[in-house]
Chain A
């Protein structure tokens, strides 16, 4: 990479942060609303967490909705039954999905390729059935209701993120920034470099003495932790958690966000999430056949733009 491309990238990142910081002010001008911004941020965070595995370790998981949904239910149940505290809810939600990911990850790290993908799909669905059937705890098909995010307290100050939409958006943005910051740090650390090495050539990494399975397990577990944090935030966006947050169709949505934005780029999945959420909102407002159009969009992306939006831009920059 030459220095001009590096400068362009830095300018792009600065622009992105500016856009995110000012979103509550410019979104209404283009027909959006603040809650939409929070939704994009949360789904973007989930897609970036998935891409930590997909794009940077080269392992396909098609079942990340499970950890997203576990985060959502964990946070919701904490607020409803345990404590009226937003930070605690985030903590327990993240823990629920992360631990499930660590356990299931240990079962499947020996598998590769198609096999790995298929097992993640199947395991992704088990929590859906549990949430669907365990009516007394989860509310079943109707979803989990009766909880709300709580105001934050800092040394005497209270920030009302419940009623103030702007405050809540900035709360989500702070969580988002911390998480992607941790992700970026990991990717620059020896661990992250090893993940890239496994993605590029697993056999060579193995010959170099790298314990590949252990690294894939670590990457999978971290990815699940980040994803379930996004899920916990999602429960607070809506003050609601429903089984569709655990359904495999959401897993597919997260993958298409990552691919559409650009799997090989750090910010790609966020861009993909923004495009996907906006397109889906728009299509479902103008036609009842929006599913066909979303399906067609997915097919077209796979056949003609497998490198995604930012991948396309990068290629142009290199040429």
Chain B
């Protein structure tokens, strides 16, 4: 029993790591632009399919880098053409716009690659279990966690030590002042949006290797991303990190006792957090509210 619990807890944390990667992208965009990106799941799927299409030419490792970059490029263009027009308006319009984009992205991937699920081949090194005791920890899962950890580390380092990163963080707190200091806020937001979409694309490549690819998979994965942000606190990236791991752990542990509630439990966790701390675990009052 203890062993089963431990297995599922670790498993949950691995899934949580995946949620973190996706939620961080959502969070970046939300913090600086005030747009809830409903199309994030669509971009995730696009990233996965692009990796599928690229693998024959550049191999898995090449696709792991190039597919998210291409997805980010698409995101950049979409931001320039459409998303930036809703900045500063009622959050309703950003939601609706990205809601429409999600339809287009899902239908687009379906038209190009078909409605049937596609398997993604991963390198043999990653496919085998690490040991017979921990049979469920395949090399791929460990690789997922490693990739997420590297991406998170890199993101936080960039935000902390580079000029652009510092500007993004400052813009999250007070965009008007940042703009008044002569910084090109429009460009900053485009770049930040593309960075968020890069993370979505990377999540897509990783998810494809684990679950296979389907045009509709993005919407199912999107909701835990929202929950992770709310649990951690809107406006706080470390909060998102914590929230993602927590909900992964919660659904993993619940799967032991009451498997059919493993999806609903994260919403119960969210309700409890909202009751105890209305602005999330690490959220601050007044930020983006």
Q: Using known A-B contacts A112-B289, A255-B96, A302-B93, determine if residue A133 contacts B101 with beta carbons closer than 8 Å.
A: no
Contact between B95 and A255, CB atoms less than 8 A apart: yes
Instruction: Check: A191 CB closer than 8 A to any chain B CB.
Output: no
Q: How far is the CB of A58 from chain B (nearest CB, A)?
A: 8
Instruction: Check: B159 CB closer than 8 A to any chain A CB.
Output: no
Q: Mark B80-117, 1 if CB is under 8 A from A, else 0.
A: 00100110011111011101111110111001000000
Interface size band for A: 35 or more
Q: How many A-B residue pairs have CB under 8 A?
A: 129
Q: Using known A-B contacts A295-B103, A296-B104, determine if residue A114 contacts B96 with beta carbons closer than 8 Å.
A: no
Segment at the A interface, from B43-51, B182-190, B192-200, B269-277: B269-277
Q: Which residue of B lies closest to A251 (CB)?
A: B99
Contact between A118 and B230, CB atoms less than 8 A apart: yes
Q: Using known A-B contacts A112-B289, A125-B223, determine if residue A256 contacts B36 with beta carbons closer than 8 Å.
A: no
Segment at the A interface, from B127-135, B137-145, B260-268: B260-268
Instruction: Check: A134 CB closer than 8 A to any chain B CB.
Output: yes
- How many B residues have CB within 8 A of the partner chain? 46
Instruction: Check: A130 CB closer than 8 A to any chain B CB.
Output: yes
Inside 8 A of A60's CB, which chain B residues have their CB? 90-92, 95
Partner of B85, one of A107, A114, A259, A303: A303
Instruction: Check: A289 CB closer than 8 A to any chain B CB.
Output: yes
Inside 8 A of B260's CB, which chain A residues have their CB? 133-134
Instruction: Check: B288 CB closer than 8 A to any chain A CB.
Output: yes
Partner of A130, one of B91, B264, B274: B264
Instruction: Check: B281 CB closer than 8 A to any chain A CB.
Output: no
Q: Using known A-B contacts A122-B230, A252-B99, determine if residue A306 contacts B267 with beta carbons closer than 8 Å.
A: no
Inside 8 A of A291's CB, which chain B residues have their CB? 103-104, 106-107
Q: Using known A-B contacts A111-B289, A289-B107, determine if residue A259 contacts B92 with beta carbons closer than 8 Å.
A: yes
Q: How far is the CB of B286 from chain A (nearest CB, A)?
A: 10
In the complex, chain B residues 224-270 whose Cβ is within 8 Å of any chain A Cβ: 226-227, 229-230, 234, 260-261, 263-264, 267-268, 270
Instruction: Check: A182 CB closer than 8 A to any chain B CB.
Output: no
Instruction: Check: A205 CB closer than 8 A to any chain B CB.
Output: no
Instruction: Check: B212 CB closer than 8 A to any chain A CB.
Output: no
Contact between B278 and A299, CB atoms less than 8 A apart: no
Instruction: Check: A83 CB closer than 8 A to any chain B CB.
Output: no
Q: How far is the CB of B246 from chain A (nearest CB, A)?
A: 14
Inside 8 A of A119's CB, which chain B residues have their CB? 230, 270, 274
Instruction: Check: B209 CB closer than 8 A to any chain A CB.
Output: no
Most buried by B among A117, A122, A129, A259: A122
Contact between B223 and A113, CB atoms less than 8 A apart: no
Q: Using known A-B contacts A122-B270, A133-B264, determine if residue A298 contacts B36 with beta carbons closer than 8 Å.
A: no
Most buried by A among B89, B104, B268: B104
Inside 8 A of B274's CB, which chain A residues have their CB? 107-108, 119
Instruction: Check: B70 CB closer than 8 A to any chain A CB.
Output: no
Q: Which residue of A lies closest to B34 (CB)?
A: A114
Instruction: Check: B66 CB closer than 8 A to any chain A CB.
Output: no
Instruction: Check: A294 CB closer than 8 A to any chain B CB.
Output: yes
Instruction: Check: B30 CB closer than 8 A to any chain A CB.
Output: yes
Separation of A118 and B92 alpha carbons in the complex (Å): 10
Instruction: Check: A13 CB closer than 8 A to any chain B CB.
Output: no
Inside 8 A of A306's CB, which chain B residues have their CB? 89, 93
Q: Mark A59-70, 1 if CB is under 8 A from B, else 0.
A: 010100000000
Q: How far is the CB of B237 from chain A (nearest CB, A)?
A: 16
Partner of A117, one of B36, B97, B106: B36
Instruction: Check: A126 CB closer than 8 A to any chain B CB.
Output: yes
In the complex, chain A residues 273-306 whose Cβ is within 8 Å of any chain B Cβ: 289, 291-292, 294-299, 301-303, 306
Partner of A129, one of B107, B230, B263: B263
Q: How far is the CB of B253 from chain A (nearest CB, A)?
A: 17
Contact between B96 and A122, CB atoms less than 8 A apart: no
Contact between B108 and A292, CB atoms less than 8 A apart: yes
Partner of A298, one of B96, B108, B223, B263: B96
Write the residues of chain A forming the contact surface with B, with a CB cutoff of 8 angstroms: 54, 60, 62, 104, 107-108, 110-115, 117-119, 121-123, 125-126, 129-130, 133-134, 248-249, 252, 255-256, 259, 289, 291-292, 294-299, 301-303, 306
Write the residues of chain B forming the contact surface with A, with a CB cutoff of 8 angstroms: 30, 34, 36, 38, 82, 85-86, 89-93, 95-97, 99-104, 106-108, 111, 219, 223, 226-227, 229-230, 234, 260-261, 263-264, 267-268, 270-271, 274-275, 278-279, 288-289
17 A-B pairs with CB atoms under 8 Å apart are A54-B92, A107-B274, A108-B274, A113-B289, A114-B91, A114-B234, A114-B289, A115-B234, A119-B274, A122-B223, A122-B226, A123-B267, A133-B260, A255-B96, A255-B99, A292-B111, A295-B102
